[in-house]
Amino acid sequence: GENVEQHPSTLSVQEGDSAVIKCTYSDSASNYFPWYKQELGKRPQLIIDIRSNVGEKKDQRIAVTLNKTAKHFSLHITETQPEDSAVYFCAANSGGGADGLTFGKGTHLIIQP
Amino acid sequence: DGGITQSPKYLFRKEGQNVTLSCEQNLNHDAMYWYRQDPGQGLRLIYYSQIVNDFQKGDIAEGYSVSREKKESFPLTVTSAQKNPTAFYLCASSIVSVSYEQYFGPGTRLTVT
């Protein structure tokens, strides 16, 4: 089955700086890679996703890049703000279909004022 | 908050008792999923269903059971066979035919003592 590794587990950056979170996956059949933001005690919220036929996608301060050959994808947040503080999860769709997502273990992003 | 609901928000049970967690959606989504989240961990897939009257085991199905008698409902039963049932349980749904994006419910925090 799919295995998703996520690094780092904790990331502390100064407000206004950029943050990068990286994930690798094992199943070459995976073709959908979402990123979720989760605040304490709340449900995960989708912030951006990318399909395997696209190398990069951007939405305002957030971007995701995908390298299919190396089987890794990254989340980039620019001009970080205090409200960006949360736990971020990457995921991949197991088997390339709708059989559920395999998640990384999460990155706790801390924005220092 | 979308159209997917879970109840109750908090649930307490004694060891040895079965307990059923509710998940309802009015989004007309075909696929529904159950995930478990432990502190400091990513989400892990328990069961999923892509159509009514059909469901599949996920990565950690042992000690759990589900049913999908109606499109909008996908209840999860945590049985006494589940060795460590205390966790945060999240239900999700997806339209699949349009996107693999999964919408999450607010979650149920189950504590078994």
Element (H, E) at A63: strand A62-67
Summarize pLDDT for A61-112 with one digit per residue, the tens: 999 999 999 999 999 999 999 999 999 999 999 887 888 999 999 999 999 9
pLDDT of residue A27: 94
Chain B residues with CB-CB distance to A29 below 8 A: none
Q: Which residue of A has its CA nearest to B100?
A: A98
Which chain A residues contact residue B40 at CB under 8 A?
Answer: 105-106
Residue position matching structure tokens 């999908």: B68
Q: Quick one: CA torsion of B25, B66, A49, B40, rounded to 10 degrees? A: 110
Q: Do A98 and B104 touch (CB under 8 A)?
A: no
Measured between CA atoms, how close is B8 to chain A, in angstroms? Answer: 14
Per-residue model confidence as pLDDT tens digits over A1-31: 899 999 999 999 999 999 999 999 999 999 9
pLDDT for the residue B21? 97
Q: Which residues of chain B have pLDDT under 50?
A: 1
